[in-house]
Amino acid sequence: MNSLNKFVVECKKQNINLVKKNLSIQTFSNVSIRIDKKFFTIKPSGVVPKKINIKDCPIIRISDGKKIKGKNNPSTDTPTHQILYKNFKDLKSISHTHSKFATAWAQSGKSIPIYGTTHSDYWTSEVPIARYIKKKELKFYEKNTGNIIIECLKKRKLTVKTCPGVLVPGHGTFCWGDNYDKAVQYSEMLEFIAELAYYSQRIKFSKRLPDYISKKHFERKFGKKRYYGQK
């Protein structure tokens, strides 16, 4: 674990970005950053992002979720992040938010339908909502939240690439990415998509985007023959 500071600095930066993008208020929400195959760092519990002390930021072992360095207690959502990093080796960052529109969908218990290409540029399906945690699972609440997210993806035959974020019912969102700023970017996209879907329903536009158009928009960015952006 060489040069830990750069990862902690990046973690602080991304947590601050959540606030700058109006995706978090007070001490809500958290971002974690993978350090390597064995460790990640995450926002300290109850600390305002700008006040994160680099020296005290917790370092977590992926294999068992134990804190191995850092004076501060990690976010209470750390076990959820740990389970996701453990199961998805390509993830470099994870973001958990209570952003307004996306959380409203989560609280409604509804997935977000594909109403247009803005959505299908990044999600190949509706933004799924996981199931509610069961009473018997509460003992390991945060860990089982991670397991439920994985279950949700498997049930719908989705991957972390085709579905970069999900809704947790009554709670909020979890997004992820394969580089250090992608998780926050996807959180921002998800909030925008959630807002668009909300207004689409309010004006009684309820026709789902045809599958062939949805597929085209995702594949032009991420498919084998993608042509969006610069080479």
As averages over each run of 10 residues, the pLDDT of the chain (231 residues) reads 82 96 91 97 94 94 96 96 98 98 96 94 96 93 97 97 97 97 98 95 74 80 78 65
Neighbours of 202 (CB within 10 A): 8
**Domain spans, the chain:** 4-222
Question: Catalytic residue at 198?
Answer: no
Yes or no: say if 119 and 209 are a contact pair by the CB < 8 Å rule. Answer: yes
Pick the catalytic residue: 56, 121, 178, 181? 121
Cα–Cα nearest to 35, from 55, 59, 17, 63 = 59
Question: Catalytic residue at 121?
Answer: yes
Looking at 3.40.50.720, 3.20.10.10, 3.40.225.10, 3.20.20.100, the CATH number of the domain 4-222 comes to 3.40.225.10
For the chain, how big is the Rg over CA atoms in Å? 17
Pick the catalytic residue: 132, 141, 199, 228? 228
Cα–Cα nearest to 56, from 183, 46, 143 = 46
Instruction: Collapse the DSSP code of 209 into the 3-class scheme (helix H, G, I; strand E, B; otherwise coil) and give the result.
Output: coil
